[in-house]
């Protein structure tokens, strides 16, 4: 994900710096569009948070449960 963010940020920085033709390069455009697509695909999974307290409680339960002798 960090690579995709860096790719998008790099293109946007070039646009900000005045390089309006940055996406005219087919390889740059391909990389940019695919990075944006992958970021959008991940979005539904990132939008919902999770309860750290619930995770910690579940882990405590697993690691503190008495173990049966086999």
Query: Domain limits of the chain?
Result: 2-64
User: So what's the pLDDT on residue 69?
Assistant: 63
The vertex-32 CA angle with 31 and 33, nearest 5°, equals: 95
More confident residue, 25 or 43: 25
CA distance 3 to 10: 10
Neighbours of 11 (CB within 10 A): 20
More confident residue, 62 or 36: 36
Local confidence band at 21 (pLDDT 50, 70, 90 cut-offs)? very high
Output the pTM of the full model.
0.61
Burial of 31 (0-12, 13-18, 19+ CB in 10 A): middle
């Amino acid at each position: 994900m960090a690579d995709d963010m860096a790719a998008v940020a790099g293109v946007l920085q070039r646009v900000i710096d005045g390089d309006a033709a940055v996406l005219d390069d087919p390889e740059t455009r391909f990389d940019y569009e695919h990075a944006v697509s992958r970021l959008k695909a991940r979005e539904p999974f990132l939008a919902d948070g999770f309860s750290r307290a619930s995770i910690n409680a579940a882990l405590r339960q697993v690691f503190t449960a008495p173990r049966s002798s086999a």
